[in-house]
Amino acid sequence: MSTSKSNSHQQMAIQMDRAWKPVFDRFDRHRTGQIRLGDFKRILHESNNHFSEDVSIDVLESLLQNENDDRLIDYQQFLNLIYNSRLDTQIQSRLHRLVRYAAMAVVPKSQRQSVIRKYLDEYNCMPPPIFILTISIIEIAIFIYYCVILGEVSTSGPVPWKSILIYNPCRRYEVWRFFTYMFIHAGFYHLFSNLLIQLVLGIPLEMVHKWWRIGIVYITGVIAGSLASSLSDPHTFLAGASGGVYALLAAHLANVVMNWEEMDFNWARLLTIIIFVSTDISVAVYDRYKTSQRNRVSYSAHLAGSLVGLFVGFNVLRNLKAKRWELILAWFSLLVYIIFMTVAILFNIFYDDYYYNPNDPEVCKQAY
């Protein structure tokens, strides 16, 4: 194995030397074994004839832009520069393919090249697009934890009613529950359906729109879901990331509809979303009204998340070719979102009579 690697390195060194020694000698006019970076930079602007196709002139220029023109480099340093350029070119090529696949999934045809160019110009890997992956891993880890603690795993369980994360109608004063309920899932089916959509759809969206934009849409959907549930279903527990998932779904669906003629597989996309949403909401409604009082979990987050996905998505997600009516719609959506959130928060703060009394153990015993 080591002999094979050694031979491979030797062959590569011979190929590099054969291709680049004549180029180096062209600049080394006095045969000192060194060349000025200024001379090398100048030829990059004059002609590409001396460079092979797998070396990016743009990458070479970026590697040299902060270097002093009077600095001298020897032949080995010159080869290192070319080698680094080739590596960067390969990385850019792979990144370009990845972004192109992501754009095909969530961007209309007329905007793809603009999105790809803009993304590649801005992409710096810091931080990488891992918001959806991180959220998914946390959700899986917490589900496994409660399966082990409660000794149960099924399509509809376990539901850790006493968890400090779940939204508990008797503990609204623990405000973190309006957000952390997203990490609790009522069974394997509940977890799987949320993970399926947020991974298949969320990762391409995150590649195109940046992690923080998708994070805003997702988290606002989660919070809006718990607030809506507290208004429409004040005595019911809430669990699951459906608010965030449906926010992503609605944001993407709006993009598909507004760019219907330009989206690949438009009918397939629409039918897939409709089938998933219909099935998921039907199961949620059934669980809400047909299961026992103790096993009920609210479904309002699905609807609220969908609406917030539209309202916030119009303002946060990228739109490289925004039309005037789209800008007006974005401002209107933002206003509606602000009004809804303000009303929901104030209602939760000032209308205690609408909710369980947390100090009454008889009323709240089912919530513990």
Catalytic pick among 85, 136, 242, 298: 242
Residue type, 276: F
Sign of CA dihedral 65, 71, 72, 76: negative
242 noted as active-site residue: yes
CB 131 within 8 A of CB 214: yes
Active-site option among 185, 193, 302, 333: 302
Q: How far is CA 78 from CA 16, 23, 118, in A?
A: 11, 10, 31
Rounded Cα–Cα distance for residues 352 and 331 (Å): 33
User: Cβ distance 116 to 318 under 8 Å?
Assistant: no
Beta bridge partners of 154: 157
Backbone dihedral region for residue 77 (phi beyond 0: left; psi -120 to 50: alpha; all else: beta):
alpha
For 316, residues 6+ apart whose C-beta sits below 8 A from its C-beta are 209, 213, 216, 217
Q: Report the C-alpha gap between 199 and 208 in whole angstroms.
A: 14
Q: CA 100, CA 117: separation in Å to the nearest integer?
A: 10
The full DSSP string for 102-151 is: HHHHHS-HHHHHHHHHHHHHH---SS-S-HHHHHHHHHHHHHHHHHHHHT
Ramachandran quadrant class, 86 (left: phi over 0; alpha: psi -120 to 50; beta: rest): alpha
Q: Is 252 designated active site?
A: no
Residues acting as catalytic residues: 242, 302
